[in-house]
């Protein structure tokens, strides 16, 4: 063998062991362990015959041997690590899968409360804001005031109007009562006057009949007397003439003739008397005319009395009219009272009071700002009404029931906060989106919807640190739940947030004058 030939590089040394030759530049990984000659050749010092060491000459080929050895080692360790990782994944995945099957979780949860935005019920200039953010207030406590001077003046005007209406009502009431009391008296007086007039008409007619009968009888008697007197006068005149002729013939005595003359004179006087009586009886017929006039006057008085009775009876209309005026005035008074109450309410609305015990979380306006109607000035919430709302995807609702336990993980707390489900919402959050989905064009992407789930955190030392708006990761246990507890708790929360204190409480308690 030549001296300058490297037996290792030619790999002819393997022929002594009976192994197959290895191609040049490739050394098996186990050669170092099985061939002491190779180790010696690799480690021997340079000599005169072989001045260059093997490692220096063949560094590139030996580096390939090192890389092959390192690769085999890494492969072995990789296999070991893979098996260990696979076992770890298997032992971790089984509990995780069981946990996920027994729980529903979401990171879409928030601490919430019922925020109340106190706004001005009447427009005006803000004169006072008595609280700051983070202040704890009590129900009925005065929080802010709006300038009440215009409403005070309006209240004074409304009060004056109401008092005027009440005075008019008193006047109308008095007038109505007077007419009510006068009406029956006037009717009674008119009825009495009518009865008196009827009696006067009857009396006048009776007097007329009596006078007419008396006058007719007197006239008949006077006429008969005149006829008798005329007959006596005629007889006396004939007797006087006959006795005068006989006396001239001296057939009778003078005394007899004088008696005849005297009888004639008496008959003539009787005739005149009878005629005078007849004339007087005729003149008595004027009494009949006067009696007729008296009857006409009595009838006229009776008609007047009847008309006055009708007018008195029409006084009922005046009474009814007065009663209607009283009712109208009463309505005016009621209107004035309601107007006064409305103005008083507007005056009370200048005061903003806390509707419940709470915490002020936001102050929007300051003294000197103008407050439009409904514009919020303060926001507050009731710290007793703190809850968590978790929005679960619709495919994670299975197994969730009211009363189930829940674990609430807040970034503000180091440890989870326990809680229990109160209720599960009846509609998805998409129904209340400001921009609802429009799928009329036919383009549709199925997105799992989220259902709100209300959770009540357990009260512990961290309860005062719960603030609306904090993010919460929620894990809910599956199970049948406790519906009775959930219903009772929901009723308690509903009752707690059902009512509040109104600034009009004083107005309602004070009776209207």
Q: Can you read off the two tokens belonging to residue 47? A: 């000599």
Pick the CATH number of 110-146+356-433+445-509 from 2.60.120.380, 2.40.30.170, 3.40.50.720, 3.40.710.10: 2.40.30.170
Lowest mean pLDDT among 47-61, 251-265, 373-387, 413-427: 47-61
pLDDT-wise least confident of 98-107, 129-138, 148-157, 487-496:
98-107
Do the Cβ atoms of 114 and 381 come closer than 8 Å?
yes
pLDDT at 17 over 50: no
Least confident of 32-46, 260-274, 449-463: 32-46
Mean pLDDT lowest among 194-203, 204-213, 493-502? 204-213
Question: Among 79-88, 151-160, 419-428, 460-469, whose mean pLDDT is lowest?
Answer: 79-88
Q: Which pLDDT belongs to residue 60? A: 58
- Report the chain's C-alpha Rg in angstroms: 70
d(Cα 8, Cα 25) in Å, to the nearest integer?
Answer: 10
Residue indicated by tokens 């990789």: 78
pLDDT tier for residue 213 given thresholds of 50, 70 and 90? confident
Position with higher pLDDT, 291 vs 373: 373
Q: Is 70 exceeded by the pLDDT of residue 36?
A: no
The segment(s) of the chain belonging to CATH 2.40.30.170 are: 110-146+356-433+445-509
pTM: 0.57
DSSP bridge pairs for 380: 116, 360
DSSP class of residue 396 equals G
Which residues is 405 bridged to in the sheet? Answer: 420
- Higher-scoring residue by pLDDT: 495, 89: 495
**Domain 150-341 carries which CATH code?**
1.10.287.620
Instruction: Give the Cα separation of 216 and 479 in Å (integer).
Output: 131
pLDDT of residue 182: 87
Please tell me the distance from the alpha carbon of residue 53 to that of residue 45, in angstroms, as a whole number: 7
What is the location of CATH 1.10.287.620 in the chain? Answer: 150-341
Q: Please list, in sequence order, all residues whose beta carbon lies within 8 angstroms of the beta carbon of residue 28, skipping any fewer than 6 positions away.
A: 22
List, for residues 87-143, the tens digit of each pLDDT value.
777 676 776 667 667 789 999 999 999 999 999 888 999 999 999 999 999 999 999
How many Å apart are CA 226 and CA 278, to the nearest integer?
Answer: 7
Min mean pLDDT across 32-36, 117-121, 189-193, 339-343 is at 32-36
């Amino acid at each position: 063998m030549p001296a300058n030939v490297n037996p290792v590089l030619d790999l002819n040394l393997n022929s002594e062991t009976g192994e197959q030759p290895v191609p040049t530049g490739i050394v098996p990984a186990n050669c170092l362990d099985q061939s002491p000659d190779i180790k010696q050749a690799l480690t021997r010092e340079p000599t005169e015959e072989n001045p260059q060491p093997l490692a220096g000459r063949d560094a590139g080929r030996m580096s390939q041997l090192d890389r092959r050895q390192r690769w085999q080692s890494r492969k072995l360790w990789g296999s070991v690590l893979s098996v260990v990782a696979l076992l770890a994944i298997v032992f971790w995945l089984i509990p995780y899968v069981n946990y996920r099957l027994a729980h529903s979780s979401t990171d879409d949860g928030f601490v919430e409360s019922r925020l109340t935005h106190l706004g001005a019920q009447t427009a005006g200039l803000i004169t006072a804001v008595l609280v700051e953010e983070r202040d704890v207030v009590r129900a009925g406590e005065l929080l802010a005031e709006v300038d009440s001077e215009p409403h005070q003046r309006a209240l004074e005007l409304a009060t004056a109007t109401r008092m005027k209406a009440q005075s008019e009502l008193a006047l109308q009431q008095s007038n109505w009562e007077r007419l009510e009391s006068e009406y029956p008296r006037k009717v009674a007086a008119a009825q009495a006057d009518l009865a008196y007039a009827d009696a006067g008409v009857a009396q006048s007619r009776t007097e007329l009949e009596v006078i007419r009968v008396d006058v007719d009888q007197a006239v008949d008697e006077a006429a008969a007397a005149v006829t008798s007197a005329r007959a006596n006068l005629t007889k006396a005149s004939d007797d006087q003439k006959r006795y005068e002729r006989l006396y001239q013939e001296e057939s009778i005595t003078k005394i007899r003739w004088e008696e005849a003359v005297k009888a004639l004179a008496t008959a003539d006087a009787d005739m005149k008397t009878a005629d005078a009586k007849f004339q007087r009886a005729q003149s008595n017929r004027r009494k009949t005319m006067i009696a007729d006039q008296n009857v006409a006057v009595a009838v006229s008085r009776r008609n007047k009395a009847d008309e006055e009775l009708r007018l008195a009876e029409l006084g009922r209309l005046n009474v009814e009219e007065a009663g209607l005026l009283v009712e109208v005035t009463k309505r005016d008074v009621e209107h004035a009272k309601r107007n006064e109450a409305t103005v008083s309410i507007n005056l009370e609305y200048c005061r903003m009071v806390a509707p419940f015990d709470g915490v002020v979380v936001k102050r929007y306006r300051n003294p000197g700002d103008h407050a439009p109607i409904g514009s919020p000035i303060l926001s507050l919430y009731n710290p007793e009404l703190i809850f968590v709302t978790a929005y679960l995807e619709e495919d994670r609702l299975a197994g969730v029931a009211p009363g189930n336990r829940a674990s609430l993980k807040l970034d503000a707390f180091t440890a989870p906060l326990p809680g229990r489900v109160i209720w599960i919402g009846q509609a998805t959050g998409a129904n209340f989106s400001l921009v609802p989905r429009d799928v009329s064009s036919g383009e549709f992407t199925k997105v799992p919807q989220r259902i709100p789930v209300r959770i009540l955190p357990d009260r512990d030392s961290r309860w005062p640190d719960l603030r609306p708006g904090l993010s919460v990761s929620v894990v809910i246990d599956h199970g049948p739940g406790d519906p009775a507890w959930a219903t009772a708790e929901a009723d308690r929360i509903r009752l707690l947030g059902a009512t509040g204190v109104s600034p009009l409480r004083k107005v309602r308690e004070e009776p209207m004058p």
